[in-house]
Structure 1
Amino acid sequence: MLSSLRHSVLMLAAATALTGFAAGADAATLRSDVTVSGNAVTLGDLFDDAGDAAGVVVADAPAPGLTTDISVSRVSLAARRNGLAWRNTTGLTHVTVARSGVAVPDAEVSSAVASAIIAATSSLAPSAKLQVDFANGASGIQVGIGAPATVKVEQIATNPRTGAFDALVRAPANDLTAPLRRISGRAYPVADVPVLTRDVAPGDVVRSQDIDWVRLPAMRVSQNIVTSLNQLVGMSPRHAIRLGEPIRTTDVQAPLVVAKGMQVDMTYSVGSLTLLARGRALQSGAVGDTVDVLNPRSNRTVQGVVEGPNMVRVEALGAPQLTELKS
């Protein structure tokens, strides 16, 4: 009787254990892909219900923004060693692990790459500007959540002829434990040039609010291209200039304040004496230009320097010309 009772108790205990094992197997389900935010991948990340084993580290996490695969055999070994029983009923061979992160702005990465190239290239001036184009359209560099979004170029190789580069960078910049990431692309010298924000016709005067800036490859910016505001503000087009187009120095001139055929005031000063006469401009001119002016009374031509709207200062008059100016 006692022996039979013991046998029943043992059978009940075994059944209970098997039931618990089956329940544990049903509760712990392996995910096929997961996203983590920290440096490690744990059983709690991989299973829906890892229980007390949730904090056990299975593998290092990939760098922020990247993915990696962990074999199911490795996961299974870690699970068995830590009392987590489960069955691979779906036939998984690996688990894909992604790591979330915060993108380092491409402008930050471009600046670091450009500085490294300029420092490594003797033919480039320290003040040179480089346009950096990444091979995939973006650098793809990320840092962990809460980490500073900075980057440092540890190694770089360039092709001076094509501008191609290949670099190893670390992000965050001062974290020596951060993995190196490889980026590639092309970098080339550029120049910022002013362009108009509206169509401007001859006779119009260019204002500072009419100007925007565009960045062009340096090889496209010849010596006759306007590159500064001083060359453009206050000038007038010689012909119609369309918005957004690079402007040549020969496309603009100082505004004409004397028009050919118009009446002008001529002045001549000698000592305290100033003579004034009216004439007709034979040429158009801007302030500072020398133009021919016809004295209609004498029908003789004199030369003068344009001083303002329809105002010409006659210089170096000879005796006959002085008489003509008075007449």
Structure 2
Amino acid sequence: MLSRILSLAAALLAFASVAQAAELRPAITVAGPVVTLGDLFDDAGNAASVAVANAPAPGLRGEITVSRISLAARRNGIEWRNDAGLTHVAVARTGVAVSDEDIAAAVAAAVETRSSSLPSAARLQVDFTNGMAGIQVAEGEEPTVSVEQISFNTRSGAFTAIVRAPAHDALSPLRRVTGRAYPVLDVPVLVRDMQPGDIVRHQDIDWVRMPANRVSQNMIASIDHLVGMSPRHPARAGEPLRLSDMQPPLVVEKNAQVDMTFVSGALTLTARGRALQSGAVGDIVNVLNIRSNRTVQGIVTGPNLIRIDAPGAAHAASIAGTANNS
């Protein structure tokens, strides 16, 4: 009989020591939708699966009061002492991030249905207030999002959107995201500094995104106005360019020896000259006829090639005199 009493006492002491060993965690992270005693205590025993509170939405944080935890613990036979003086337990929930690109696309689509004033070549840029939307879904769920409601200020671009993630799941939580949505344009820029005389190639071009209201009418918005062109002045990499900043490449340098050609019907006259101006194809430049020492105007047609379109006999005579003397 005595041995049975001693065994029972030992068992009770062992149970008491286990109960006494239970310790409340001050902060926990859970993956599921509820917080259990097993999440909260080091050793919850058979009560580990008992739910205490709902977990925060995926990716968010919350708190559970110690008084609520204590009540659930006592009801399920967990004895513990709040030696640390805790008042709350911090709870974080893991999740799978919905990409900010997908959320921005959903917000942009919702804004576009409410605004028809976008420039034809523009697209909407969506910037979130805190730099990111921070929307997550529970582990194992599809990381999708839908916009349930949105308010948009057409003047400032500010928006407030109520989104659901996963998308179209009536049981998934609603989340609020804010930011700005504004039209932007992609503008070509140079990838390296270039000097007058340098020729822009396709590999010299990159793109930057700019608010549409900062893209002026004289700003280059197409590579057609860059490829094959040359800067009039030193051009810096990464900076938007104006149409007036570029010109066709110079094929005639000032003081260079050039071939002048005058064509009138079946008559073709040629002579040598000296360019008094630099010019690109199509430019009108002054040229000094070396033989006659007279200045004529011509159109640059190629490298060191000048075509003379003389309105009268004077220009033709200046060339003809040279041709006859040569």
TM-score, normalization by structure 1 = 0.86
Deviations 1:44-76 (A, max 9, x none): 111112222222222221111111112233333
Letter in 2 for 1:179: P
Q: Deviations over 1:287-313 (max 9, x none)?
A: 122333333333444433211110122
Please state if 1:280 is matched with 2:296.
no
Q: How does 1:194-273 map to 2 (within 5 A)?
A: 194-269=188-263
Q: Distance in 1 between matches of 2:86 and 2:310?
A: 100
Q: Which residue of 2 aligns with 1:41?
A: 35
What is the SS of the residue equivalent to 1:38?
Answer: coil
1:152 matched residue in structure 2: 146
Letter of the structure 2 residue corresponding to residue 113 of structure 1: V
CA contact (8 A) 1:294 1:302 kept: yes
C-alpha deviations, 1:188-223, integer Å up to 9, x for none?
222222222222122222222222222222222211
| 2-structure distance, mates of 1:167, 1:88 | 45
What is the deviation of 1:124? 2.4
Deviations 1:108-132 (A, max 9, x none): 3222222222222232257532332
Partner residue in 2 for 1:88: 81
Matched to 1:282, the amino acid is L
Residues 32 and 96, structure 1, Cα contact 8 Å, conserved in 2: yes
Equivalent position of 2:320 in the other structure: 326
Aligned-partner Cα distance in 2 for 1:218–1:41:
49
Aligned 8 A contact 1:101 1:142 in 2: yes
The aligned residue for residue 64 of structure 1 is 58
Structure 1 Cα separation of the partners of residues 261 and 125 of structure 2 = 55
Q: How many residues align?
A: 320
CA apart distance, 1:31 = 1.4
Measured on the aligned residues, the alpha-carbon RMSD in Å equals 2.7
- CA drift at 1:320: 5.2
Identify unmatched segments of 5+ residues in structure 2.
322-326
Structure 1 residues 263-322: Cα deviation after superposition (integer angstroms, max 9, x where no partner): 211223456654322222233221122333333333444433211110122336645544
Contact 2:255–2:277 (8 Å) recurs in 1: yes
1:64·1:142 contact (CA, 8 Å) conserved in 2? yes
**1:307 aligned partner, one-letter code:** T
Gapped runs of 5+ residues in structure 1? none
Check conservation: 1:104, 1:151, Cα contact below 8 A.
Answer: yes
Matches within 5 A, 1:110-121: 110-121=104-115
CA distance in 1, matches of 2:119, 2:191: 31
Alpha-carbon distance, 1:141 to partner: 1.6
Name the CA shift for 1:233/1:210 in 2 (closer, same or farther; >3 Å): same
How many Å apart are 1:77 and its aligned residue?
A: 3.5
Partner of 1:100: 94
Greater displacement, 284-293 / 32-41: 284-293
1:25 aligns with 2:15: no
1:127-206 matches, cutoff 5 A: 128-206=122-200
2:307 to 289, 307, 313: 313
- Which residue type is aligned with residue 25 of structure 2? R
* Conservation of the 8 A alpha-carbon contact between 1:21 and 1:85: no
Identity value in percent: 61
Paired with 1:321 and 1:137, the residues of 2 have a C-alpha distance of 68
In structure 2, how many angstroms separate the alpha carbons of the residues matched to 1:126 and 1:294?
50
Q: Aligned equivalents of 2:90 and 2:217: distance in 1?
A: 56
Q: 1:77 to 1:26 in 2, by over 3 A?
A: same
Which SS does the other structure have where 1:186 is aligned? Answer: strand
Deviates more, 1:206-215 or 1:179-188: 206-215
- The one-character-per-residue Cα deviations of 1:153-182 (angstroms, maximum 9, x if unpaired) are 221112222222111112222433221111
Q: Distance in 2 between matches of 1:214 and 1:153?
A: 29
Q: Is the 8 A contact 1:118 1:125 kept in 2?
A: no
Contact 2:21 2:80 in 1 (8 A): no
**d(CA) in 1 for partners of 2:275, 2:142:** 69
Whether 2:103 is the aligned partner of 1:109: answer yes
CA contact (8 A) 2:52 2:69 kept: yes
Range that drifts further, 211-220 or 290-299: 290-299
TM superposition shift of 1:99: 0.4
TM-superposed deviation, 1:254: 0.8
Whichever residue aligns with residue 78 of structure 2, its letter is: A
